[in-house]
Amino acid sequence: MIQLRGIERYYSSGFVKTYVLRHVDLDIAEGEFVTIMGPSGSGKSTLLYILGMLDGTTSGTYEFMGERVDKMSERKRTDLHKRHIGFVFQNYQLIDELTVYENIETPLLYQGVKGGERKARVAAMLDKFGIVAKQKLFPHQLSGGQQQLVGIARAVVARPSLILADEPTGNLNSAQGEQIMETFAKLNEEGTTIIQVTHSERNAEYGNRTIHLLDGKVVPETQAQL
C-alpha cells in the first residue's frame, strides 16, 4: 500500500540544514497495524503527516497505492487523501463551533456525499461509537474520551483504507485509552490499515509491527530489539 524510498525532510536556515527525517525507507502493506515509536523530536509526527499527505518531503519518493504522491498536484493529492485517509489527533481537533453530528458530517460534505446517504452514514457512526445521545452537543460539553471517539468517528465516516493516529490516547486516562485502542483494533480487524504514533508500549502491543525512529532515521529492527 505504502512505499517510501529515501525520504528526506530538512529545514534550512541560512547555511545550516536541520534534518527531521533522513533517508527513510518504509513499506506498509494493506491490513497492517503499524506503530511508530521514538523519543520526542525523532521525527515520528513529521513522518505521519507526510504519510497523511498533509506535509511535503524535501526529497525521496512516496508511492501510495501505486501512485507517486510526491509529484502530485495539490488538488489531486487532496482528492487522494480525502478518499483514502482518516486522521486522528492527540488533542482531538474537533471544530468547536460544530456539534458532534456536524463534526462527523463535515468530511462527507467535502466529499460531496448526497444528503440522504450522508445522514445514514453519520447515523451509523453515531451508533457504532455509542454517541447517539451526544450528537447535538458541542465538543466542549464532552469528556476527552468522548471527544476522541467523535474524532475517530469523523476519521472513519469517510470509509478510509488507512487511518493515521497521532498519539490518540495521549490526553486520556488509561480506561479511556484502552477503549480507544480497542476501537482501533476492531477497525483493523475489519480491514482498515492503521498507523499510529505513540510513546506507550502498551498501545504498541495492539499493533502487529513497530517502527522505531531516532534522530530522523529508522532504527533497524535487529538493533531495536536489543
User: With binding defined as CB under 8 A, does residue 95 bind another protein?
Assistant: yes
Residue span binding another protein (CB under 8 A) among the ranges 24-32, 65-73, 87-95, 127-135: 87-95
106, 161, 179, 200: residue in contact with another protein (rule CB under 8 A): 106
Minimal CA–CA distance to 82: which of 64, 62, 63, 101?
Answer: 64
Q: Which helix (H) or strand (E) holds 152?
A: helix 144-156
Query: What sign results for the dihedral spanned by CA atoms 204, 207, 208, 210?
Result: negative
Q: In 185-200, which positions are buried (b, 16+ CB within 10 angstroms) versus exposed (e)?
A: eebbeeebbbbbbbeb
Interface with another protein, residue 74, by CB under 8 A? yes
Binding another protein (rule: CB under 8 A), the pick from 3, 61, 78, 200 is 78
In the sheet that 59-64 helps form, which strands lie side by side, from edge to edge? 16-28, 2-13, 59-64, 67-68
- Closer of 171 and 178 to another protein (Cβ): 171
φ, ψ of residue 194 in degrees (nearest 5): -130, 135
User: Interface with another protein by CB under 8 A: which range of 29-37, 43-51, 65-73, 201-209?
Assistant: 43-51
Binding mask 49-68 for another protein (x = CB under 8 A): x--x-xx-------------
Nearer to another protein, 97 or 190 (CB): 97
Note whether 4 and 26 are within 8 A (CB): yes
Instruction: Kindly state whether residue 162 participates in binding another protein, applying the rule CB under 8 A.
Output: no
Asked if 82 interacts with another protein (CB under 8 A), we say yes
200 binding another protein? (CB under 8 A): no
DSSP 85-110: EEEE-TT----TTS-HHHHHHHHHHH
CB of 208 to another protein, least distance (A): 25
Please give the Cα distance from 159 to 172 (Å, whole number): 25
Residues at the contact surface with another protein, assessed by CB under 8 A: 45-46, 49, 52, 54-55, 74-75, 78, 81-82, 86-87, 89, 93-98, 102, 105-107, 109-111, 154-155, 158
